[in-house]
């Protein structure tokens, strides 16, 4: 039996990188996964891999910065599968590593719309449904949230102004959720990845408009033994989402090969 056998999960930003890896692993471990992303073709490729491996996942084309898309995904989970047990807030947006004086309004609002508004919409839509779950004998373990933030959520020096501020904000949001709903049986934990080999990270390294900002944000990373891989983040998300982590709530777990120790 898989570690998520019988669970229903939503994973955002699931068309590539960490979201795709999480979707595949959760399905392998027995969950039914509703995978959300804007890129329909890439998302369908992930679903096809899951299906061919004997897992169960469905593609949900959507943009987490649009509340109606988030509500629709939660509604789909409940209507088709009767419940929602797990949400992974993984979708993210970059900011070209610009310092605050160079951030335009469009970039600021786009980054916050995806990185903060999206998880907020998901918490707001999912929590009422998760609270309906029976949980264990004590009425706990009704549902679990895993928010993929960044080590930029705890440092002022690991991204541009918009990205760093948004990751600090979503960290606070996820921790507040952990505190507010702990006695009602919900858990909310945060993963703080460093450099992970994904499309997004490669884009941040090669397609930015502030080389100086990128150099400053990357300080110390050259001392790391290696980059991480999406599958490693997926393994951590699996643990935090599973009942094995029943006592862990409000935790921020770095996954950065030691970069935060620099």
- Per-residue confidence band for 45, with pLDDT thresholds at 50, 70 and 90: very high
Q: Which of 121, 163, 181, 195 does the annotation list as catalytic?
A: 163
End-to-end CA distance of the chain: 40
Closest CA to 11 of 23, 21, 3, 2: 23
Q: Is residue 260 part of a domain?
A: no
Averaged pLDDT of the chain: 91
Task: Decide if pLDDT at 144 tops 60.
Answer: yes
Tally of domains in the chain: 1
What does the pLDDT average to over 148-172?
Answer: 92
> What's the pLDDT at 196?
87
3-class DSSP state of 65: coil
**Residue 81 annotated in active site:** no
Domain span at 192: 8-255
Please say whether the beta carbons of 193 and 255 come within 8 A: yes
Q: Is residue 261 part of a domain?
A: no
3-class DSSP state of 21: helix
Q: Is residue 262 part of a domain?
A: no
> What's the pLDDT at 166?
97
> What's the pLDDT at 212?
60
Tell me what percent of the residues of the chain surpass a pLDDT of 70. Answer: 90
CATH number at residue 188: 3.40.50.720
Question: pLDDT tens digit string along 193-243?
Answer: 988 877 666 565 555 556 665 555 565 566 666 788 999 999 999 999 999
Q: Is residue 76 part of a domain?
A: yes
Taking the C-alpha atoms of residue 1 and residue 255, their distance in angstroms, rounded to an integer, is 27
Rg (the chain; Cα; Å): 17
> What's the pLDDT at 199?
66
- Per-residue confidence band for 260, with pLDDT thresholds at 50, 70 and 90: confident
Q: Is residue 228 part of a domain?
A: yes
Taking the C-alpha atoms of residue 42 and residue 5, their distance in angstroms, rounded to an integer, is 26
Q: Is residue 57 part of a domain?
A: yes
Task: Decide if pLDDT at 68 tops 70.
Answer: yes
Task: Decide if pLDDT at 85 tops 60.
Answer: yes
CA 66 to chain centre: 16
Q: Is residue 235 part of a domain?
A: yes
Q: Is residue 197 part of a domain?
A: yes
Please say whether the beta carbons of 44 and 59 come within 8 A: yes
């Amino acid at each position: 039996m898989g570690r998520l056998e019988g669970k229903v999960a939503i994973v955002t930003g699931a068309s590539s990188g960490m979201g795709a890896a999480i979707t595949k692993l959760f399905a392998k471990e027995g969950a039914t996964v509703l995978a959300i992303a804007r890129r329909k073709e890439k998302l369908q490729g992930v679903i096809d891999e899951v299906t061919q491996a004997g897992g169960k996942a469905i593609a949900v084309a959507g943009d987490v910065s649009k509340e109606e898309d988030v509500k629709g995904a939660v509604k789909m989970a409940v209507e088709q599968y009767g419940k929602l047990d797990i949400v992974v807030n993984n979708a993210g947006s970059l900011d070209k590593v610009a310092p605050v004086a160079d951030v335009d309004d469009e970039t600021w609002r786009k980054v916050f719309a995806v990185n903060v508004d999206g998880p907020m919409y998901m918490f707001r839509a999912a929590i009422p449904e998760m609270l309906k779950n029976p949980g264990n004998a004590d009425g706990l373990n009704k549902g679990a949230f895993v928010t993929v933030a960044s080590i930029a959520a705890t440092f002022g020096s690991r991204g541009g102004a918009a990205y760093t501020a948004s990751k600090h904000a979503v960290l606070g949001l996820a921790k507040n959720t952990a505190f507010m709903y702990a006695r009602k049986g919900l858990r909310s934990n945060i993963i703080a990845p460093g450099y992970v080999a994904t499309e997004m990270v490669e884009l941040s390294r090669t397609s930015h408009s502030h080389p100086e900002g990128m150099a400053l944000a990357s300080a110390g990373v050259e001392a790391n033994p290696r980059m991480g891989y999406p599958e490693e983040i997926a393994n951590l998300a699996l643990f935090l989402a599973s009942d094995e982590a029943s006592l862990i709530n409000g935790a921020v777990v770095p996954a950065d090969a030691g970069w935060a120790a620099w």
